[in-house]
Copies of this chain bind each other. A is one copy, B any other.
Amino acid sequence: MPEQSSPLDLAEGDPFGPHNLPYGVFSTPDHPEDRRVGVRIGNHVLDAGAAAHALGSPYAQLLAQPDLTALLSAGRTAWRDVRRALTAWVTVPAHRADVEPLLHPIDTVTLHLPYAVADYVDFYASENHATNVGQIFRPNAEALTPNWKHLPIGYHGRSGTVVVSGTDVVRPSGQRKAPADAAPVFGPSVKLDIEAEVGFVVGVGSEQGRPVPLTDFRDHVFGLCLLNDWSARDIQAWEYVPLGPFLGKSFATSVSAWVTPLEALESARIAPPARDFPLLPYLEDADEDEAGGLDLRISVAINGHVVAEPPFATMYWTAAQMLAQMTVNGASLRTGDLYGSGTVSGAEPGQRGSLLELTWNGRDPLDLPDGKRTFLEDGDTVTMTAWAPGPDGTRVGLGEVTGRIVPAS
């Protein structure tokens, strides 16, 4: 009889090893209403609240919860201490007998949106993306608006339609008007698109009227997720002047089920890019050890076929700058606030994070194994994955975000 292998004995280099430990919320088929905080280890989910209880941990209260809210709001010291405890639970042999029965194979559980999204803001922080979009949508003007290199541009999105990875997305209907049309027409979007983004999850809130400085980024932001900001380009193009995107975006935004703590991404920190203009002091990060860029490698697939590999390292604005910008007017933060980076696009054509850019607004269709694509067709499944450099040559896997397009209702 072969030796029984433990779910804790991971293959070398597993991107969800003990150096990662992202958080999520799961339920099991036996108790579908009982949502529990889970931590991913390999292809298993550890019932974190049950483990804390079994091991007599002081964090049982924080982890035996139906979502991540209590943990998110607990603050940086608690985040560090809980992570240390979890690392011990999944690595110290003496804990195995307690921990192993609390591991669920990931394909046997249901993963849920891990926290209530408070406010959702979407930024526009990739210079390549903003330049491409400017060239496509405003061909007779400068691609970047005059403000673009002075502040991270952003806008509020709809938090009530943020859904967890795996949720079907209904093709939205709305008004569109081609330049040649005499009047707008109504119908299902014919330019349904994706946007490959990274989402940042706020743990600790702030007081209204008090800006949060860039240097406090790690005191407020708990971690990150992958985010697909589904976009109906035809609806968006007709509606967005003068007040910005609305229905072209608000039908659905998908996030990965796993929130990767910033602490797992220490090895992925890189210098921010050189900036072309002097920054105002509240955005200046040249001397800030706490700020900086992140080396995340994203991959976007349609029906299993990789169509783009956007590098987050190319972003012009950092997540800490976005946080400073979002609050510099005194806007408060709340636990569960989510902000997206905006579409991540690298300089190369194969690094563009939207079909708008990949097909140049439909001019250059993609050749997929199942046919040509300009924009998404009903039945298409989009899956984004990502990894970041971890300690000692490892990789830190981010949870995937996937969604399938179903026909307009």
| A interface residues with partner B (beta carbon < 8 Å) | 118-119, 121, 124, 134, 137-138, 145-147, 150-151, 153-161, 163, 170, 172-175, 177, 183-184, 186, 208-211, 232, 235, 238-248, 250-252, 277-278, 280-282, 325-326, 328-334, 337, 409
In whole angstroms, what is the CA distance A343 to B3 when docked? 72
Q: Residues of B contacting A210 with CB < 8 Å? A: 409
- On whether the beta carbons of A243 and B160 are closer than 8 Å, the reply is no
- On whether the beta carbons of B158 and A239 are closer than 8 Å, the reply is no
How many copies make up the complex?
A: 2
- On whether the beta carbons of A337 and B172 are closer than 8 Å, the reply is no
Min distance, Cβ A214 to any Cβ of chain B, angstroms: 14
16 residue pairs A–B, Cβ–Cβ below 8 Å = A118-B159, A137-B242, A146-B177, A147-B177, A147-B184, A151-B239, A155-B243, A156-B158, A156-B246, A172-B330, A183-B277, A184-B280, A186-B281, A210-B409, A235-B329, A243-B245
Q: Which residue of B lies closest to A184 (CB)?
A: B150
Q: Which of B232, B243, B278 contacts A244 (CB 8 A)?
A: B243
In whole angstroms, what is the CA distance A252 to B151 when docked? 20
Q: Residues of B contacting A150 with CB < 8 Å? A: 175, 177, 183-184
- On whether the beta carbons of A328 and B173 are closer than 8 Å, the reply is yes
- On whether the beta carbons of A158 and B331 are closer than 8 Å, the reply is yes
Q: Residues of B contacting A277 with CB < 8 Å? A: 183
Min distance, Cβ A203 to any Cβ of chain B, angstroms: 14
Q: Which residue of B lies closest to A331 (CB)?
A: B250
- On whether the beta carbons of A330 and B145 are closer than 8 Å, the reply is no
In whole angstroms, what is the CA distance A121 to B161 when docked? 13
Supposing A156-B250, A277-B183 touch, asked if A173 and B330 sit within 8 A by C-beta, the answer is yes
Min distance, Cβ A333 to any Cβ of chain B, angstroms: 7
- On whether the beta carbons of A247 and B331 are closer than 8 Å, the reply is yes
Q: Residues of B contacting A151 with CB < 8 Å? A: 175, 184, 239
Min distance, Cβ A41 to any Cβ of chain B, angstroms: 32
In whole angstroms, what is the CA distance A409 to B332 when docked? 13
Q: Which of B160, B186, B280 contacts A186 (CB 8 A)?
A: B280
Min distance, Cβ A118 to any Cβ of chain B, angstroms: 6
Q: Which of B175, B246, B326 contacts A280 (CB 8 A)?
A: B175
Min distance, Cβ A52 to any Cβ of chain B, angstroms: 29
- On whether the beta carbons of A250 and B186 are closer than 8 Å, the reply is no
Q: Residues of B contacting A134 with CB < 8 Å? A: 242
- On whether the beta carbons of B172 and A244 are closer than 8 Å, the reply is no
Q: Which of B156, B184, B278, B281 contacts A156 (CB 8 A)?
A: B156
Q: Which of B172, B175, B241, B330 contacts A409 (CB 8 A)?
A: B330
Supposing A160-B331, A160-B337, A208-B170 touch, asked if A245 and B247 sit within 8 A by C-beta, the answer is no
- On whether the beta carbons of B329 and A174 are closer than 8 Å, the reply is yes
In whole angstroms, what is the CA distance A238 to B334 when docked? 26
Q: Residues of B contacting A331 with CB < 8 Å? A: 158, 160-161, 247, 250-251
- On whether the beta carbons of A241 and B330 are closer than 8 Å, the reply is no
Q: Residues of B contacting A160 with CB < 8 Å? A: 118-119, 331-334, 337
In whole angstroms, what is the CA distance A184 to B146 when docked? 10
Q: Which residue of B lies closest to A151 (CB)?
A: B175
Q: In the A-B complex, list the 6 residue pairs whose CB atoms are closest, starting with the nearest.
A: A244-B244, A170-B209, A172-B329, A156-B156, A247-B329, A155-B243
Min distance, Cβ A49 to any Cβ of chain B, angstroms: 26
- On whether the beta carbons of A243 and B184 are closer than 8 Å, the reply is no
- On whether the beta carbons of A251 and B329 are closer than 8 Å, the reply is yes
- On whether the beta carbons of B242 and A244 are closer than 8 Å, the reply is yes
In whole angstroms, what is the CA distance A382 to B28 when docked? 54
Q: Residues of B contacting A329 with CB < 8 Å? A: 172-174, 232, 235, 247-248, 250-251
Q: Residues of B contacting A328 with CB < 8 Å? A: 173-174, 247
In whole angstroms, what is the CA distance A156 to B145 when docked? 21
Q: Which residue of B lies closest to A342 (CB)?
A: B243
Min distance, Cβ A370 to any Cβ of chain B, angstroms: 25
